[in-house]
Amino acid sequence: MTLNSQLLEQFKDLPDPRMVNKCDHLLLDIVMIAICATIAGADDWGEIATFGQGKERWLKRWLSLPSGIPSADTFQRVFARLDAQAFHERFLAWVRAVFEVTEGQVIAIDGKAGRGTCDRQGQGTLHLVSAWATLNQLTLAQVNVGEKANEITAIPQLLELLMLKGCIVTIDAIGCQTKIVNQIREQGADYVVMVKGNQPKLLAYLEAAFAAADEHGWGQASPQYCATIDEGHGRVEHRECWVLADTQMQTQGWRDSCTLVRIRRQVQRGGKVAETTHYYLSCVPPHASLLLGAVRAHWGIENNCHWVLDVVFGEDASRTRLRNADDNLALLRKIALNLLRQHPANASLKNKRYRAALDEHFLLDIMQSSFNFMP
């Protein structure tokens, strides 16, 4: 029995940035302690070291630890020097070894900035674009946007890392670019992209098309229209979706586009009502319930990934700013989140982390989590 044979296998050849003859601690030990600690509630280097010191006897059952537990400064120095790309490549290999994309899976692409990583001038903010498998609730990959770049340049890099055949890729308005949707099609996937003011001509076309269709009315039983209502936590959310078959945008470079989508969302809470309307372009055939489902699934990356990283893992409060350390710490959190999501215990992620800190058997069980390929 091991902590996680797949993780150990993928990270065992991670290039060590240190002078080998002057190392008191094995790199693999440092990485595995950091993963266990992050699962068990540690959110910074000091807490990771404290976890290791408190669990040293238990960790010695699985790791070499020739010089005991590294200090907080050692964890910080090592992860600051550790090649972020090499670390991410091992993460990708691990995900591919244990996870198989299911047919029709929605892969949500979205960016997130770490507010605590910027300096007083607001510079140097860690900005990552991530891919999220909505059905299996897993982070598949991440790319650092970089200070002098933006998500438009980062998204193609992220897509290149993914095996997308048979999936539906959803992207916010910043990814509404002909180059990006062409790449998605070349990789064998469908797309649903939001259309907003950054594409004014396209947005005007969609608005005019639906305005014209509204004049003729919509059949409520038609695949061109569907509606859903969700109630809970003192709010009622009513969504309506209309779709139109339209291939005109193919002549403008939007490869295989065949469907225009309009979604109206009305939220009622405490007597107040807020209403928003969004438009989308897609190469998925015009079926309202299918496309509404894909758009709703996209928000999983916000609710089940980004929000969790901020609230449960304290990512927005992180002040890590040392070269690769912020990238690598963000990836540690995603490894931990992937493992926690796969564990079948019926508890919140916060409670799972707390229990893992108290119960070594439970922590080991999480580390050995098997990925569930099926919905």
**DSSP codes joined into one string, 175-234:** G--HHHHHHHHHTT-EEEEEE-TTSHHHHHHHHHHHHHHHTT---TTSTTEEEEEEEETT
Tell whether 122 is covered by a domain.
no
Tell whether 275 is covered by a domain.
no
3-state secondary structure of 329: helix
Tell whether 308 is covered by a domain.
no
User: What's the pLDDT at 283?
Assistant: 97
C-alpha–C-alpha distance, residues 54 and 164, integer Å: 42
Tell whether 342 is covered by a domain.
yes
Tell whether 265 is covered by a domain.
no
User: What's the pLDDT at 119?
Assistant: 47
Low-confidence ranges of the chain (pLDDT < 70): 1-2, 114-125, 147-149, 218-222, 318-323, 370-375
Tell whether 202 is covered by a domain.
no
User: What's the pLDDT at 117?
Assistant: 47
Residues 6+ apart with CB under 8 A from 176: 193, 194, 195, 196, 198, 199, 202, 281
Q: What range defines the domain where residue 14 resides?
A: 5-95+323-367
Residues listed for the chain: 375
Q: Report how many domains make up the chain.
A: 1
User: What's the pLDDT at 261?
Assistant: 97
Q: Are 186 and 165 in contact (CB under 8 A)?
A: no
Tell whether 170 is covered by a domain.
no
Residue type, 101: V
Element (H, E) at 160: helix 151-160
Tell whether 67 is covered by a domain.
yes
State how far the alpha carbon of 298 is from the alpha carbons of 133, 165, 168, in Å.
9, 18, 10
For 275-297, write each residue's pLDDT tens digit. 999 999 999 999 999 999 999 99
